[in-house]
Structure 1
Amino acid sequence: MSRRGVVLFALMAVIWGVPYLMIKVAVEGVSVPVLVFARCALATLLLLPLALRGGQLAALRPHWKPIVAFAVLEMVVPWFLLAKAEQDITSSMTGLLIAASPIVTVLVARMLGSSERLGLTRMVGLGIGLAGVAVLAAPELRGGSPLAIVEVLLVAVCYATAPQIAARRLQDVPSLPMTVACLGFASIVYAGPAIATWPAELPGGWVLPAIGGLAVICTAVAFIVFFALIREVGPSRALVFTYLNPAVAVTAGVVLLGEPLTLPMIAAFVLILAGSVLATRSAKVVEPAATPQRANATA
Structure 2
Amino acid sequence: MANHPHQSQMAYEPDPLCITTMNCRGLNIPERRSHLLRELTSKRVSIAFLQETHFKEGHAPPLKSKHYPTAALSNHPTARKAGVAVLTHAQLQFQEVERLVDPNGRYLFIKGDIQNRRYTLATIYAPNNNQSHFIRKSLSNLSSFTEGTLIVGGDINVPLIPLIDSSTGHSSITQGAIRSIQKTLKNLRLVDCWRAMHPEDREYTHYSVIHKRYARIDYIFLQQEHLDAIQTAEIGTASWSDHGPVTLQMDSPRVRPTTRSWRLQDSLLLDPSVKEKVSEELTSYFTLNETGDLPATTI
Task: Please give the range of the TM-score, normalised by the shorter of the 2 chains.
Answer: under 0.3
Relative to total residues, which structure has the larger strand share, 1 or 2? Answer: 2
Q: Under a length normalisation based on structure 1, what TM-score does the superposition of the two structures give?
A: 0.24
Over alpha carbons, which structure has the higher Rg? Answer: 2
